Each structure stands twice: as C-alpha cells, then as structure tokens.
Homo-oligomer: A and B are copies of this chain.
Amino acid sequence: MNKQQIINTIERKKTFLCVGLDSDLSKIPSHLLEHEDPIFEFNKAIIDATLPYTLAYKPNLAFYEANGWKGLISLEKTVSYIRSKGEKIFLIADAKRGDIGNTSTQYALSFFGQKDENQNFDAVTVAPYMGEDSVKPFLEFEDKWVILLALTSNKGANDFQFMQSSEGKLFEKVLQISKTWADDNKMMYVVGATQANMLTDIRKIVPDNFLLIPGVGAQGGSLEEVVKYGMNSDCGLIVNASRSILYASKEQNFAQKAALEAEKIQKEMAKYL
C-alpha cells in the first residue's frame, strides 16, 4: 500500500484509526474460550465490528508468540481474514525488530516476503538502536514500510531517547539520520501520544512522514493534542488504540462495544479531517 493509497483511504473513510490487535487469551470474553482458536474468533469479531471506522490494523506480535506456534497460526488466519475483506487496509506488524543485516533480512522476509501475498504485512515497526544496516533490509520491498521507533509512549522513553548531544536529543538524531535512509514513501515513525507536546519539534525534522501514534486511550494520550501538533496536509497521522477498543466489554456484546469505541474515535477524527 503506497502513500497515496493510504491518503485516499483516510479521505474516503474519514478515519486515521489503527486498531491494535493485542489479543490476549486472559482478557478476551470467556465465552470465546470454547472455540478451537479463541484468539482468531475474537479478532474476526473485532475486525468485522471496527472495519467501517478503521484505516489500519496492528497485530502485536508478542501476544501471538506468547502462544507458541499456535499463536502464529492465529496470526496468519487473522492476516488472511483482513486481506479477504476486499478493501485496502493498512496492516502493520508491531514487532519492534532490528538486528544485524543478515538477520534483519530474515525478519523482513517473514513480514514482507511470504510467497502467499495475502500473508504479507504493509509495514513493520523497527527499533533503531543497531543503525542503518539493521533497518535497510526492510526497505527493499516495494510499497512496504518501515515504522521506526523515534519517541515511544512509555515511561522508559525517558531513559535514553532524550539523551542530549551537541546534535540534539537521541530521538531527534534518529529522525535526522534515518531520513537519509529512505523518504516519506517508505518510512514512518512511532511517536507516542503521551509525548504530544514534542510533535511540533518532530514535525520540523520530518514534516512529510506519516507518524504512527500509540498511547491514545488506555495509556492516556489525547487525540486532540496529537492532531493539533502532529497533523500535516496529508493528515500524516495513524493513531492507534488497542485495549480501549478490544476490551470495551468482556460480555457477549464485546464486538458491538468495540464498534462503539472505534466509532467514537472515528467521529472525532472526521471533525479534524
């Protein structure tokens, strides 16, 4: 999915919502546990309910890997199900990968290089610590995206990301240097909604790149602030919500409740577009 296709979808559906599929066996409604693959049943219901309000889905790999190879089957079925919907949906593997070149190549193959095109993601989140050759292998696939961690939404972001050098803070250096690896047609950045006040400075460095914004909802970030400081003329934002949508209810009606949560966010987004 290329940048123009993302922009077109945002304009058509009036949404830049990403639903994070952090699907956790211990949190999904208990009536689903009788199914052979409860995580897939849950995801299907969430996808069906939220798709009208959604630009992107973001399975969080950790939640699938915690269930071993069976978890990966749940993930593969989920990816196929999303692809079966017959519309352009931006599909992000939230994996935070990053390793030496030949290893990153293997990770890139697992997300972008599967023979079955319907098993491939559109984007993967990548950690910057190991530098250019850890990121480059993900950039070698057409219409696929790296979403590089810049400024994250968690408390630990303060430990290293704000480290100050003569050339600015670490996250600013990550933006400045990685800009030279790929342009805004291949590279997005993770910027936590809990750091919305930093978005003005970030937009000075990467005015044109899409930003993936986690932290709205359960983590306490404000959509209004994110839009105020981060939106550009293409929208330029993909705002993720996970727990506030997925676990809006643990009852039989969880999917309707999830739809209501997603719709609420989408309606607010539509105001800003």
Contact = CB atoms under 8 A, between A and B. Distances in A.
Interface of A: 22, 24, 60, 62-63, 65-70, 72-73, 76, 94, 96-104, 106-107, 109-110, 113-114, 119, 127-135, 149, 152-161, 163-167, 170, 173-174, 177, 214, 219
B66 A72 contact: no
7 contacts: A65-B110, A66-B106, A69-B69, A101-B156, A129-B161, A133-B155, A165-B165
Given A107-B65, A110-B68, A114-B68, A157 B173 contact: no
Nearest to A125: B99
B156 A134 contact: yes
A135 B156 CA distance: 9
Contacts of A96: 97-99, 127, 130
Given A22-B103, A163-B170, A154 B128 contact: no
Nearest to A103: B62
Nearest to A132: B156
A106 B62 contact: yes
Nearest to A167: B163
Given A96-B99, A100-B219, A129-B149, 18 more contacts: A22-B103, A24-B106, A60-B103, A62-B99, A62-B103, A62-B104, A63-B106, A66-B113, A68-B76, A127-B127, A128-B129, A128-B159, A131-B160, A133-B155, A160-B174, A163-B163, A163-B167, A165-B165
